[in-house]
Structure 1
Amino acid sequence: MLKPVTLRGHLVCLEPMTVEHVHDLCAAASEDRSTYGYTNVPVGLDETRRYIESALKAHLEGSVLPFVVRHNGTGKIVGTTRFLDLEVFNLPQGTSNGAIPTDDNPPSVAEIGSTWYAASAQRTGVNTECKLLMLAHAFESWQTIRVTLKTDARNERSRSGIQRLGATFEGVRRAHIPASDGGIRDTAYYSIIAKEWPEVRKNLLQKQQRS
């Protein structure tokens, strides 16, 4: 499996998620929850503990690399995000070989998701820097060829945020998975591929300077 890694920026630090983060992550999730209508965000200590344990189990299985987001200015945990759906391709054939990604055999493709922030961190520079750090790690350290981002098709706020990153809209997968509100959701898919990364990086750096 991929070893936990810390990604450091000017505004935030992405730390490997551990069970010790349960109280801080629960506190972050307990701020104003009005923006979480389409997002799976745990409620209370017990649910937050299960949320973390599930992420750590998936990491051991090789399918995710989860982080908590620490604000460098306040020192507080202000949210979480992760790499998921990690696949290694047989190149040049280009098919998934079922191998568990490792540092020596990194993922050919990845997704960034399961992202949520405390209300106090929303509409700040936190998300821009988180995406900049994660995309740089994917494309520059792993040499990943594609990063996927997806969200509930009804979540206009999330979709606008993904589009502002410079990701390309691929389409909507209908009746995809259970929704966080109890129904079945359509999922909007976006992606960034390796040749687009330099322009996306430039865009994110400009946004970072303005925030």
Structure 2
Amino acid sequence: MLRAFGLAGTSVRLEPLAMGHAPGLAAAAAEDRSSYAFTAVPDGPGQAEEYVRAALAEQAGGRVLPFAVVRTRDDAVVGSTRFLDLDVVGYPGVVVPDDDRPPNVGEIGSTWYAASVQRTAVNTKVKLLLLGHAFDVWQVLRVTLKTDARNQRSRTAIERLGGRFEGIRRAHTTATDGTVRDSAYYSIVRTEWPGVRGGLLRRLEHWAG
């Protein structure tokens, strides 16, 4: 199984999600919940603890790596994200990724941020860290990103990052509001990564300017 790891940037870092992050997640989610209509975000300390426990249970299955997003200047937890559906394709049978045979496909998702860091450079920096590890360290073939098809804000953000729209998977899963949702699927493949990385770096230059 893959060992948990952290990723560090200049102003944000990704820490392996742990129970100690629950109070920070609760505080981050409480700032302003108006943007969470399509996103599973814990509400209050009790839900934050359950959120972490559920994520760690998924991690124990070997195909998920959850993170807390931490702002480095004050060590504040400002959100969460994770690698999902990590897999090793091209081998017979079911292969759970590990450090000797890392995933060659995966997904980035379950991402949410405190209201105070939305529409800032944080998401770009987080995606640069995650995509950089996936493509440059694991050498993956593709990374999937998906969202509720109704979530135009999320779809626009994925497209700005460089995700290519693949289509709508109809009646895909249960939405956060209890309805059955369609999911909009996007992807980045290995040959596109250099261009996507360049675009992310240019976006960060824009934020810095």
- Do both share a fold (TM > 0.5)? yes
SS in 2 for 1:89: coil
Figure out how many residues of one structure are paired with residues of the other and give that number.
207
Report if aligned partners of 1:177, 1:186 keep a CA contact under 8 Å in 2: yes
**Which position in structure 2 is the counterpart of 1:64?**
64
Secondary structure of the equivalent of 1:36? Answer: coil
> Where in structure 1 do 4 or more consecutive aligned residues deviate above 6 Å?
none
Give yes or no for the alignment of 1:133 onto 2:143. no
Confirm or deny: 8 A CA contact 1:38 1:179 kept in the other structure. yes
TM-aligned CA deviation for residue 197 of structure 1: 0.2
2:11 aligns to what? 11
User: Deviation digits for residues 18-45 of structure 1, max 9, x if unmatched?
Assistant: 0111111111111100000000001111
Report the secondary structure of 1:90's partner residue: coil
Q: Name stretches of at least 5 consecutive residues in structure 1 with no aligned partner.
A: none
Deviations 1:172-206 (A, max 9, x none): 00111000011111000000000100000000011
Corresponding letter in the other structure for 1:147: V
Q: Distance in 2 between matches of 1:40 and 1:121?
A: 18
Amino acid at match of 1:137: H
The within-5 A match list for 1:1-211 is: 1-90=1-90, 97-211=93-207
Q: What is the Cα-based RMSD across aligned positions, in Å?
A: 0.9
Instruction: State the alpha-carbon separation in 2 of the partners of residues 57 and 162 from structure 1.
Output: 27
Aligned to 1:202, what secondary structure does the other structure show? helix
C-alpha distance in 2 between matches for 1:104 and 1:30: 40
In 2, distance between residues paired with 1:60 and 1:176? Answer: 24
**Identity rate, percent:** 54
Give, as a single letter, the amino acid of the residue that structure 2 aligns with 1:133: L
C-alpha distance in 2, partners of 1:58/1:191? 23
Letter in 2 for 1:207: R
Give how far 1:147 is off. Answer: 0.1
Q: Which runs of 5+ in 2 are unaligned?
A: none
- Measured against aligned partners, the alpha-carbon deviations of 1:37-56 in whole angstroms (never above 9, x if no partner) come to 00000111111111101111
Aligned residue type for 1:142: W
User: Once the 2 structures are TM-superposed, how far is the Cα of residue 90 of structure 1 from its aligned partner?
Assistant: 2.4
Equivalents in 1 of 2:17, 2:84: separation in Å?
A: 14
Q: C-alpha distance in 2, partners of 1:166/1:131?
A: 11
Q: Which residue identity lines up with residue 66 of structure 1 in the other structure? A: P
| TM-score for the superposition, normalised by structure 2 | 0.97
Shift of 1:100: 1.1
Letter in structure 1 aligned against 2:125 = E
Shift, 1:165, TM fit: 0.7
- Tell me the TM-score normalized by structure 1: 0.96
State the one-letter code of the partner of 2:183: T
Query: What is the CA–CA distance in structure 2 between the aligned matches of 1:67 and 1:202, rounded to whole Å?
Result: 24
